[in-house]
C-alpha cells in the first residue's frame, strides 16, 4: 500500500466515549486498542460501532507478542481478524516486542536483542501474521529500559532490516525514540535518519515521566517540547505521516486533548506544504488499506 495520509487522530479512550458520541468533535480519525474490544458484546462494542460510523479508525494491539519464542497465539489472531472484519480499519498495528513466554504473560512490551537470529525470527513471524490476516501490518518501535549484551547492532538497523525482510510497515513512535535515545545514550535524529521513509505509515506522540536517570514511557503527561521538536524533524525527513496522540493515564477532558492535537497540526502546517497535508480521499473509505 502507498502511504495514505489520514490527518491527525487521537487514541479512543472510554473516558471520552460520551463526549465523542454526543458532540462528534472534529478529529480526522481514531486509533483503538484492539484488545479493549476483544470481548463478546455489550457496551464496549456498541460504543465502538457508534463511533466507527462517524470516524475512520485504525487498530493498535498490545498482545500479539510477535517476538516471543512461543508459537504464535492462533486464538488471539482469530479474534483480531474478527475485530478487523467488524471495524474495517485503515490499518492494523502492534509492537516490535515480546510479551509472553511459556504461556506466562508479562502484559508488558518487552525488548528484544538486536541480532541476526532475532531478525530472522521476527521477519518470519510477521510474514505469517500478514498471510493470516491477508494484509500488511504496522509494527511500532518501543521505549526500552534495558539493552542486551548479545545485541550486535543499533535498534534502528534492527528495525529497518525487519521491515525490509517482512514487507511490513512502521508505526514510528516519536516519543519512544526520544525516551530510548535518552535511556541508551544515542541521538534521536540518528534513529530517524536511518529509517526507510517509504515504510513509515503512522506516528505516535505521547508524554513521558522521569524516574531518576531513566525516562519511562508513561503516557500520563502532555507531549513535551523536545518531542515536538523531534516530531518536526521527522516531518521534514518523512513528509506527511498520519499522526496521533496517545494518552493512557491522568487523562484530561477531551477538549484539552484535542487542543494538544492542534499543536501537532500547527507544526505540520508550518513544516509541510498544503499539498502534502491534503488528506487522502481513500482515507475516508472503510477498509481502504
Partner 1 sequence: MGGLDQLRQLQQDFMHYVLGEQSEIVTQIESTPVLSAKDRLDIYATAYKLRLKEAISTDYEVLHLYLGDEQFDNVMEDYIAHYPSRITNLRYYSINMTALLKTRSPFNQHPVLAELATIESSFANSFDSHDRTVVALDELAAMAPEAWATLRLAFQSSVQILPLAFNSFEVWRALSKAQTPPTLEASSESLNWVLWRRADLISHYRPLDGAENAALSLALQGESFAVIFEALLDFYSEEETPMKAVSYLQSWINEEMLSGLSY
Write out the residues near partner 1 by the rule CB under 8 A.
Answer: 35-36, 38-46, 63, 68-69, 73, 75-76, 98, 100-108, 110, 112-113, 117-118, 120-121, 145-150, 185, 211-214, 216
Give buried/exposed letters for 106-136 (b at 16+ CB in 10 A, else e): eeebbbbebeeebbebbbebbeebbeeeebb
Q: Return the number of the residue (147 or 280) whose C-beta is nearest partner 1.
A: 147
Identity of the residue, 187 or 270, whose beta carbon is nearer to partner 1 in the bound complex: 187
Going by C-alpha positions, the residue among 70, 74, 87, 71 that lies closest to residue 33 is 87
CB of 51 to partner 1, least distance (A): 15
**CB atoms closer than 10 angstroms to residue 92:** 25
How far is it, in rounded angstroms, from Cα 163 to Cα 150? 21
Q: How many Cβ atoms are within 10 Å of 266's Cβ, its own excluded?
A: 11
* Shorter beta-carbon distance to partner 1: residue 47 or 271: 47
- Closest separation in Å from C-beta 209 to partner 1: 12
Least separation in angstroms between residue 134's CB and partner 1 is 21
Give the DSSP H or E segment for 110: strand 104-110
Between 68 and 243, whose beta carbon lies closer to partner 1? 68
Question: Distance from first CA to last CA of the chain, Å, rounded?
Answer: 7
Closest distance of CB 237 from partner 1, Å: 28
Residue closer to partner 1 by CB (options 68, 202) is 68
For the bound state, the minimum distance from the C-beta of residue 81 to partner 1, rounded and expressed in Å, comes to 14
Nearest to 92 by CA among 48, 32, 41, 167: 32
Q: Residue 202 corresponds to which cell in the numbers above?
A: 503512522
We find the least distance from the C-beta atom of residue 29 to partner 1, in angstroms, to be: 24
- Nearest approach in angstroms of CB 67 to partner 1 is 8
Cβ proximity to partner 1: between 54 and 124 the closer is 124
| 198 vs 249 by CB, closer to partner 1 | 249
CA atoms within 13 A on the CB side of 114: 16
> Could you tell me if 122 and 168 are in contact, meaning their C-beta atoms sit under 8 angstroms apart?
no
- With contact defined as beta carbons under 8 Å apart, do 11 and 202 qualify? no
Amino acid at each position: 500500500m502507498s502511504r495514505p495520509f489520514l490527518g491527525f487522530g487521537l487514541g479512543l479512550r472510554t473516558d471520552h466515549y460520551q463526549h465523542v458520541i454526543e458532540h462528534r468533535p472534529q478529529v480526522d480519525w481514531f486509533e483503538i486498542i484492539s484488545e479493549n474490544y476483544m470481548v463478546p458484546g455489550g457496551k464496549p462494542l456498541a460504543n465502538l460501532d457508534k463511533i466507527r460510523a462517524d470516524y475512520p479508525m485504525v487498530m493498535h494491539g498490545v498482545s500479539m507478542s510477535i517476538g516471543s519464542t512461543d508459537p504464535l497465539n492462533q486464538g488471539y489472531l482469530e479474534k483480531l481478524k474478527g475485530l478487523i472484519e467488524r471495524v474495517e480499519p485503515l490499518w492494523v498495528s502492534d509492537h516490535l516486542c515480546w510479551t509472553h513466554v511459556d504461556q506466562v504473560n508479562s502484559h508488558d512490551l518487552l525488548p528484544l536483542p538486536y541480532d541476526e537470529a532475532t531478525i530472522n525470527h521476527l521477519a518470519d513471524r510477521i510474514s505469517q501474521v500478514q498471510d493470516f490476516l491477508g494484509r500488511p501490518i504496522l509494527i511500532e518501535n518501543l521505549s526500552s529500559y534495558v539493552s542486551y549484551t548479545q545485541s550486535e547492532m543499533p535498534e534502528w538497523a534492527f528495525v529497518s532490516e525487519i521491515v525490509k525482510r517482512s514487507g511490513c510497515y512502521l508505526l514510528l513512535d516519536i516519543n519512544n525514540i526520544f525516551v530510548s535515545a535518552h535511556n541508551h545514550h544515542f541521538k534521536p535524529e540518528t534513529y530517524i535518519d536511518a529509517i526507510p521513509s517509504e515504510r513509515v505509515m503512522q506516528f505516535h506522540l505521547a508524554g513521558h515521566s522521569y524516574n531518576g536517570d531513566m525516562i519511562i514511557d508513561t503516557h500520563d503527561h502532555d507531549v513535551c517540547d523536545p518531542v515536538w521538536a523531534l516530531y518536526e524533524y521527522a516531518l521534514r525527513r518523512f513528509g506527511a505521516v498520519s499522526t496521533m496522540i496517545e494518552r493512557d493515564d491522568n487523562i484530561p477532558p477531551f477538549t484539552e486533548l484535542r487542543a494538544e492535537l492542534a499543536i501537532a497540526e500547527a507544526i505540520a502546517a508550518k513544516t509541510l506544504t498544503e499539498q502534502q497535508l491534503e488528506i487522502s480521499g481513500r482515507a475516508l473509505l472503510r477498509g481502504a488499506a
